[in-house]
Structure 1
Amino acid sequence: MIVDAHHHLWRPERGYTWLDDPDLAAIRRPFTPQDLGVELARAGVRHSVLVEGGRCHADEAAEHLGHAADSAANGGPIAGVVAWADVADPDLAATLRAYRGLRGGELLVGVRSQVQGEVDPDYLDRADVRHGLATVAAAGLAFDLVVRVDQLAAAARAAQAVPELRLVLDHLGKPRIDAGEPGLRAWLGPFTELAARPNVTCKLSGMVTEAGAQWTVEGLRPFVAAAVAAFGTDRLMFGSDWPVCLLVADYAGVLDALRQALPPLDPAAVAAVFGATAVRTYGLAAPS
């Protein structure tokens, strides 16, 4: 069983202004649950986690949870939703309660803030943010970390400060894979420090995009090997980052690239990366 722990859906006209960047023209179009179903079926992926897509509005949570409810009712792939929420919002607890009251609210498995958009590399050290992280933990949800490399150290401190919170690092912390060895060196120390926190898991996602149009499996291998060494396979999970990945690779290409980039693993370890870790981390209602 393969679980895609990280993909998006959007309609650009509904507030995804970041897609206005000319370099993103290839993905500036609607991506629907029907489109997703076709991609997953072709790749042999049975379940998935739908992640907020940078709209940064509560209306997106209602839409995504509705997609998940429809999927569950029709035997579709969406097994959980990571919705957007402002982790520094003093009313975060009320927001999370409201999300759970929506149609499909029982499929809310996590939340994410666009921390990567904060200028301050120490944003996660703020008292209001730490309070928000504790609120997410109290709600029984995971918190997805979409952060830059210079924010990884603060992420490690946050993980230590809120040990009851399940933190999920998206895209390996966005290392400069395109920079090769210098990118690996700049990222490895803080990444390893974060991995030392037992309440953190990591998505092997977004790598081809960080590597750029000229990406190769050989270029990915050092980063994947470092992730396996730091986290172990029981804290790593596959994520396609579709449709963002379409800037440089199709869905099947992303899945195949990870299979090739992983070091030799036993069947149980492969099963963890491609499904079991995601099911356990997000508490998905998916068969083991």
Structure 2
Amino acid sequence: MIDAHQHFWRISRGDYSWMDESVARIRRDILPADLAPLAEAAGVSGTVLVQAAPTVEETLFMLSLAQETPLVRGVVGWIDLEGDVSGQLDHIAHPALRGIRPMLQDIEDTEWVLREEVVTGLRQVAAAGLRADALIVPRHFAVITELARRVPELPIVVDHCAKPVFDGGDPGQAWRDGMAALAAHPQISCKLSGLANEYGPGWSAAALRPVFDHVLACFGPQRIMWGSDWPVLELAGDYAGWAACAQEMAADLPKASRDAIFGGTAASFYGL
């Protein structure tokens, strides 16, 4: 079982600008020793460590943790896609590096990722054998669809099912249409992660099943990977509860499909 999306951080590093009072509960040092017992209890034997700050320095910090933490199978880092991409990739080259994640949700310009220099940078990322995590919200559906058309050689995984907005408990037709459009591109996969935080109080397998069912219908199990989004998950729940919830939603699927969602897809996509 692989957790395809988790974070570590050391607050004194000083580049987690999003950590304000709204996330006070997780504004503390969170390191491999904190995750180890949770992962073991859930049956997780490997993880993908994902960036939480838009700096190369944080990527180097994560790679140093991966070097000494067998649980971490791969790292998704950050580079300035408008800068010297090849130089930055050389600087952070490491066997554990598996992908790059621009923090698109925090960039005001929705179409930033389609800027010529950014697209050129992502082509260099793909040429280096890396992938892209897409940290997006529904306003990005059209641009990620276009990015996939322009850079078909770049494997992309959509984080957190593109953060659906649960209006009255339903993710809405616009979200459904957007996810279907993304899934039409075979290079795009989807992370079953972050949904507890997006739904908020009262989340459950029953409440989240409309999202799960639609993502499954669009992408199929071979392009879906489970992730905890821990420790951000702690703002809405706990590791064991979310793992159990996801497994409950997938309980009626064939074993091969469950194996893909809870490990195989992540291993294949990231080359773990």
Equivalence for 2:115? 126
**Match among 119, 126, 135 for residue 124 of structure 2:** 135
Q: Shift of the alpha carbon at 1:17? A: 2.2
Displacement of 1:218: 1.5
**Which residue in the other structure is 2:240 paired with?**
252
Q: How far, CA to CA, are the matches of 2:96 and 2:121 in structure 1?
A: 21
User: 2:187 maps to which residue?
Assistant: 199
How many residue pairs are counted as aligned between the two chains?
271
CA distance in 2, matches of 1:131, 1:32: 34
Structure 2 counterpart of 1:151: 140
Would you identify which runs of 4 or more consecutive aligned residues in structure 1 move more than 4 Å? Answer: none
- 1:185 deviates by 1.7
Paired-residue identity, %: 39
Alignment map for 1:30-109 (pairs within 5 Å): 30-53=29-52, 55-71=53-69, 76-89=70-83, 91-100=84-93, 105-109=94-98
Aligned to 2:250: 262
| Alpha-carbon distance, 1:190 to partner | 1.2
Q: Which residue of 2 aligns with 1:110?
A: 99
Which residue matches 2:157?
168
Distance across 2 between alignment mates of 1:12 and 1:42: 26
**Which residue pairs with 1:210 in the alignment?**
198
Q: Distance in 1 between matches of 2:109 and 2:59?
A: 26
Asked if structure 1 preserves the Cα contact closer than 8 Å seen for 2:125 and 2:131, the reply is yes
Residues 209-253 of structure 1, C-alpha deviation per residue, up to 9 Å, x if partnerless?
001122222110000000000000000000000000001111001
The reply to whether residue 229 of structure 1 matches residue 228 of structure 2 is no
Residue 274 of structure 1 corresponds to 262
1:197-217 C-alpha deviation (Å, 9 max, x unpaired): 000111000010001122222
The residue number in structure 1 matching 2:28 is 29
What is the Cα-based RMSD across aligned positions, in Å?
A: 1.2
CA contact (8 A) 1:178 1:211 kept: no
Deviations 1:113-134 (Å, cap 9, x if unpaired)?
1111112222222211211111
Matched with 1:19 is 19
The structural deviation recorded for 1:184 is 2.5
The 3 A distance-change label for structure 1 pair 32 and 3 is same
The Cα shift of 1:263 comes to 6.4
Per-residue CA shift, 1:90-115, capped at 9, x if unaligned? x0111011101xxxx11100111111
